[in-house]
């Protein structure tokens, strides 16, 4: 596993993040507190770590929950994964939230989160009038359902459904073409033919 050097300044030498195993992806961050903190059910709290870092350009550090705390106590990182930018020089703080039913006690030196160094690719956002069409389209949250069903076998019924689907998709492309040119009548005609194509699909399915 490759390594990247990350300079750190610590409030105490015991604050140094450490890996729990040879191939661990995240280094454990510890609570840098003098007295215990009580995290009530449903509440969140900012826990200091006593760690400041100089992350190399082209990287970030992600703050992730510890699986043991999540499973046993329902304690997790509120903004998981939290992002520490390469130009931040302040102390790393971890926002913990208690999703459990009982108060949770955070003690000095407790391992509360994992720090994962990850490469970053910066996006260059380019303004366009429209986007390329996909089979998913604007389908958002949960549009694929919670279970996977096998693809139907190619046969007469599938071919009957596929034909009007391809027809309707072609009409949608025509609609987008004319909509971008602000031709209201052609746009309305494209809408009408689109609904006609969708009606054919429903008829075949029924």
Question: CB-hemisphere CA count at 13 Å for 205?
Answer: 9
Rounded mean pLDDT of 16-28? 96
Rounded to two decimals, the pTM is: 0.68
pLDDT of residue 68: 96
pLDDT of residue 72: 96
pLDDT of residue 74: 97
Q: Which helix (H) or strand (E) holds 27?
A: strand 27-30
Pick the CATH number of 8-119 from 2.70.40.10, 3.50.50.60, 2.60.260.20, 3.40.50.1970: 2.70.40.10
The residue among 31, 17, 128, 135 whose CA lies nearest residue 75 is 31
Rounded mean pLDDT of 103-130? 96
Per-residue pLDDT band for 190 (boundaries 50, 70, 90) equals low
Higher pLDDT, 139 or 31: 31
Give the bridge partners for 10, in sequence order: 51
Q: How far is the C-alpha of 206 from the C-alpha of 147, rounded, in Å? A: 23
Residue 123 pLDDT greater than 90, yes or no: yes
Domain boundary assignment for the chain: 8-119, 156-205
Rounded mean pLDDT of 116-120? 97
pLDDT of residue 145: 79
Tell me phi and psi for residue 13, to 5 degrees.
-60, -25
Q: What percent of the chain has pLDDT over 70?
A: 71
């Amino acid at each position: 596993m490759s390594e990247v050097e990350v300079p750190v300044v610590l409030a105490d030498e015991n604050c140094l993040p450490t890996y729990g195993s040879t191939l661990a992806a995240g280094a454990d961050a510890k609570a840098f507190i003098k007295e215990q903190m009580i995290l009530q059910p449903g509440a969140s709290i900012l826990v200091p770590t006593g760690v400041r870092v100089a992350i190399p350009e082209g990287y970030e550090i992600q703050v992730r929950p510890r699986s043991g705390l999540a499973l046993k106590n329902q304690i997790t990182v509120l903004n998981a994964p939290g992002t520490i930018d390469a130009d931040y020089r302040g102390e790393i703080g971890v926002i913990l939230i208690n999703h459990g039913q009982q108060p949770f006690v955070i003690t000095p030196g407790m391992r509360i989160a994992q720090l994962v160094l990850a490469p970053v690719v910066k996006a260059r956002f380019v303004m366009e009038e429209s986007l390329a069409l996909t089979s998913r389209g604007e389908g958002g949250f949960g549009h694929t359902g919670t279970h996977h069903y096998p693809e139907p076998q190619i046969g007469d019924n599938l071919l009957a459904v596929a034909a009007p689907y391809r027809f309707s998709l072609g009409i949608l492309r025509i609609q987008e073409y004319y909509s971008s040119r602000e031709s209201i009548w052609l746009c309305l005609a494209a809408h009408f033919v689109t609904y006609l194509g969708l009606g054919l699909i429903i008829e075949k399915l029924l």
